[in-house]
Amino acid sequence: MVQSVYNHTDTRQITTVLNSVVNLLDSATGSVTLANSTTTTTVTNAKVTTASRIFLQPRNANAATSGAFVSAITNGSFTISHASATTERAFDYLIYSA
């Protein structure tokens, strides 16, 4: 759980809070290229829980027009549903866990 900074002059508290934020984001981002000739792609990441929110960001024009969406989230992975294609469709992702 991320703490708040109550005393902006307390460098120890600031360091603790910043380290906590870095730990939350470490390994919570990544990149994925959608699998060709199939309609789903599964991404495995230990940071994913059933309470996670997954945000996809297209990295190329083919990805931007792919209609891809997160269709399932389980502990340790999420699934992206998409149309079958043979073009490269690359995304970056962010895992947000409350």
- Tens of pLDDT along the chain (98 residues) come to 556 667 778 788 888 888 777 766 666 899 999 999 999 999 999 999 999 999 999 999 999 999 999 999 999 999 999 999 999 999 999 998 86
**Per-residue pLDDT, 25:** 65
Burial of 80 (0-12, 13-18, 19+ CB in 10 A): buried
**Per-residue pLDDT, 16:** 82
**Per-residue pLDDT, 5:** 64
**Per-residue pLDDT, 70:** 98
In angstroms, the CA 12 to CA 50 distance is 33
Domain regions of the chain by residue span: 29-96
Q: Where are the beta strands (DSSP E) in the chain?
A: 29-33, 40-44, 53-58, 69-74, 77-81, 90-96
